[in-house]
């Protein structure tokens, strides 16, 4: 009798477990069904158009470009994830490995660092070279902007006007006529590189006397120029301190310095999936310029304004959002 009772108990428990298991499976099935319903709803016109990951490098200009792009794409119906603050080779690898969908790159950096080609000072040639090479691996360079963050030769505006120096050719002519009158400030890298002071002097046919070339840390260059310890210095063409210190960068009229025009680069499969993204980013690229980026860098670095606020205000001022 006890054995029969135990067999009956085991049978009851087994049935209960089967029912419980079915109930659990039914619940999960219901959950998947709900998820499927949500996905259908998200494809309706009122939902987002898709998801994009925007990458960026780790300095003010790139943080601004990342933020501008993210806000702009969000306003145009995309879910956007930002992955900013990376080094050049890191963000490039992230693009190639499909960890980011797009970011803003400089033609000169891509040409020399990633593609191992010779530097090119002509902006259009540099752009065409990197565009053709990267297209082979499924990376699409959209429209190039006029924003060229390259080396700049800087002087105080008042002194440049006083001496009639507007271009590097003017500087060369003045130095040839007055060899010891001007002191040039440079960091060690620009001093040593062939695309630095040595190459510049060779291209333009002049030379600062060795005693008139003052090497110092990058961070001291602008201060030395401001304090009249130097008369001419090297710098970057979009640096906000150019405006802050009322400097002028001399025209590279013989196009010696490599072109570093910033351009949106997108994975081909992303553009195949979201063809509208190309048109949107080309509109952004058209609005960017060296002068405007210098102003935006100034507002963030020297006025200490929030990058998100600055990015949104710029987009509004351009009628893009």
User: Tell me, what CATH number does 194's domain have?
Assistant: 3.40.190.120
Predicted pLDDT of residue 43? 34
Q: Is residue 14 part of a domain?
A: no
Q: How far apart are CA 209 and CA 190, in angstroms?
A: 16
Kindly state whether residues 144 and 263 are assigned to the same domain. Answer: yes
pLDDT the model gives residue 192: 85
The pTM of the full predicted model, rounded to 2 decimals, is 0.76
pLDDT of residue 201: 96
Handedness of CA 301, 304, 309, 310 (dihedral sign): negative
Q: What are 148-199's pLDDT values in tens digits?
A: 999 999 999 999 999 999 999 999 999 999 999 999 999 988 898 777 899 9
Cα 113 to Cα 79, 82, 130: the distances in Å are: 31, 24, 11
CATH of the domain at 306: 3.40.190.10
Q: What are phi and psi of 139, to 5 degrees?
A: -110, 120
Residue 269 CA to residue 100 CA, distance in Å, equals 12
Strands 151-156 and 139-141: unpaired
For residues 166 and 240, membership in a common domain is answered with yes
Which residue, 220, 249, 278, sits at the end of a domain?
Answer: 249
Cα separation, 295 vs 147, whole angstroms: 12
**Residues of the chain scoring pLDDT < 50:** 1-47
Strands (E), 227-284: 232-236, 247-249, 262-267
Last residue of a domain, one of 194, 229, 249: 249
- Spatial contact of 142 and 277, defined as CB atoms under 8 Å apart: no
Q: DSSP assignment, residue 251?
A: B
Residues 142 and 60 in one domain: yes
150-to-122, 162, 236, 294 alpha-carbon distances in Å: 12, 26, 6, 12
What residues does 82 pair with on adjacent strands?
A: 54
Give the range of the structural domain holding residue 285, as residue numbers without chain letter.
Answer: 51-148+259-317
Nearest in space to 55 (alpha carbons), one of 19, 90, 12:
90
**Cα 220–chain centre separation:** 25
Which of residues 249, 268, 297 is at a domain's end? 249
**How confident is the model at residue 189, as a pLDDT?**
81
Strands (E), the chain: 50-57, 78-86, 102-106, 139-141, 151-156, 184-186, 213-215, 232-236, 247-249, 262-267
Tokens of 99: 């960890």
| Cβ neighbours around 307 below 10 Å, total | 17
Q: What is the C-alpha separation between 231 and 209, in angstroms, rounded?
A: 14
Check whether residue 183 and residue 312 sit in a common domain: no
Distance CA 59, CA 162 (A): 34
What separation in angstroms does the CA of 94 have from each of 54, 121, 133, 271?
10, 27, 18, 17
Question: Which helix (H) or strand (E) element contains residue 312?
Answer: helix 307-317
Q: Are residues 141 and 264 in the same domain?
A: yes
pLDDT of residue 312: 98
């Amino acid at each position: 009798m006890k054995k029969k009772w135990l067999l009956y108990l085991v049978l009851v428990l087994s049935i209960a477990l089967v029912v419980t298991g079915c109930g659990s499976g039914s619940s999960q099935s219901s959950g998947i069904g709900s998820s499927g319903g949500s996905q259908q709803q998200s494809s309706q016109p009122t939902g987002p158009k898709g998801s994009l990951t925007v990458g960026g490098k780790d300095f003010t200009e790139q943080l601004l470009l990342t933020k501008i792009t993210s806000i702009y794409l969000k306003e145009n119906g995309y879910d956007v994830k930002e992955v900013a603050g990376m080094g050049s080779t890191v963000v490039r690898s992230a693009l190639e490995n499909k960890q980011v969908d797009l970011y803003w790159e400089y033609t000169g950096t891509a040409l020399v660092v990633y593609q191992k080609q010779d530097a090119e000072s002509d902006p259009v040639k540099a752009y065409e070279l990197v565009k053709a090479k990267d297209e082979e691996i499924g990376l699409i360079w959209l429209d190039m902007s006029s924003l060229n963050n390259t080396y700049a030769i800087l002087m105080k505006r008042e002194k440049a006007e006083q001496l009639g120096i507007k271009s590097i050719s003017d500087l060369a002519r003045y130095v040839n006529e007055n060899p010891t009158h001007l002191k040039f400030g440079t960091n060690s890298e620009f001093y040593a590189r062939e695309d630095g002071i040595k190459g510049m002097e060779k291209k333009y046919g002049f030379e600062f006397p060795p005693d008139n070339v003052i090497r110092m840390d990058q961070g001291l260059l602008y201060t030395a120029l401001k304090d009249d310890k130097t008369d001419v210095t090297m710098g970057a063409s979009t640096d906000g301190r150019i405006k802050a210190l009322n400097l002028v960068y001399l025209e590279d009229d013989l196009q010696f310095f490599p072109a570093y025009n910033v351009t949106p680069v997108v994975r081909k499969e992303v553009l195949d999936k979201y063809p509208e993204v190309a048109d949107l980013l080309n509109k952004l690229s058209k609005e960017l310029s060296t002068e405007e980026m210098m102003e935006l860098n100034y507002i963030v670095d020297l006025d200490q304004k929030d990058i998100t606020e600055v990015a949104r205000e710029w987009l509004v001022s351009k009628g893009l959002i």
